[in-house]
Amino acid sequence: MTLQLQGAKITWLGHATFKITTPSNKVILIDPWLEHNPACPAEARKFEHLDLILATHGHSDHIGDAVATAKQYKPQVIAIVELANWLSSKGVENTIGINKGGSVVIDNITISMTHALHTSGLEDGSYGGEPAGYVIELENGLKIYHAGDTMPFTDMQIIRELYAPDIAMLPIGDFFTMGPRGAALATRLLGVKHVIPMHYATFPVLRGTPAELREELGKLGLDQVEVIEMKPGQTIS
């Protein structure tokens, strides 16, 4: 089954950074790591406008450019409460601190925060709250799950029951997150039919590959799942 985005666009900027353009031309940036992201094309680091930033956790390879980008484009910024407070302390305006299980509706887009199993310490030693993921329901009803940095966990079944995402962005790199085998199990728990692999190949240690994910999905009898292998800077629509 080929993914139908129904007027939306998804651009992978490398690592765990994505730009989502909604059918009403709202632009959402997830985990803004741009200038020092070796996988992010230089031409993709600027935006005509930016409406929302979502931060999954406090590691620099996820929020390295959150402060600068937020100050430049003045979007609303969503993060777990402690991380939102930290961003606000750095001069970021329009922060919204929510917590796991909570949702906020902005411009007919529903952002729901989910659990993730990882860490979230900030480089300056501050407490960044807990890591999280997001389910983003666009104006057209399409639901996109960005898992953040995580391993598989059985409560992904709750994400399936509560939100029924259409597509999942899952880390596959291993070492700092789950690898292909874990991502295949996560796919089964979530019940999604479309997966975009992320958080791989940025550095040599992130060795998981989309081909290995397809192999592991096959072992679980999930050959029908579409693995959408993107190149940094590529847009699907």
pLDDT value of residue 3:
83
pLDDT value of residue 96:
98
pLDDT value of residue 104:
98
Which has the closest alpha carbon to 80: 65, 101, 60?
101
State the first-to-last Cα distance of the chain, in angstroms, to the nearest integer. Answer: 15
Segment 22-76, tens digit of pLDDT: 999 999 999 999 999 999 999 999 999 999 999 999 999 999 999 999 999 999 9
Average pLDDT on 203-230 reads 98
> What structural domains does the chain harbor?
9-232 (3.60.15.10)
Segment 71-118, tens digit of pLDDT: 999 999 999 999 999 999 999 999 999 999 999 999 999 999 999 999
Three-state helix/strand/coil letters over 22-87: CCCCCEEEECCCCCCCCCCCHHHCCCCCCCEEECCCCCHHHHCCHHHHHHHHCCEEEEEHHHHHHH
Nearest-angstrom CA–CA distance, 79 and 148: 12
pLDDT value of residue 4:
86
pTM: 0.98
Number of other residues whose CB lies within 10 A of the CB of residue 41: 14
Segment 131-158, tens digit of pLDDT: 999 999 999 999 999 999 999 999 999 9
pLDDT value of residue 2:
76
What would the DSSP string read from start to end of 114-151?
A: EE--S----TTS------EEEEEE-TTS-EEEE--S--
pLDDT value of residue 1:
67
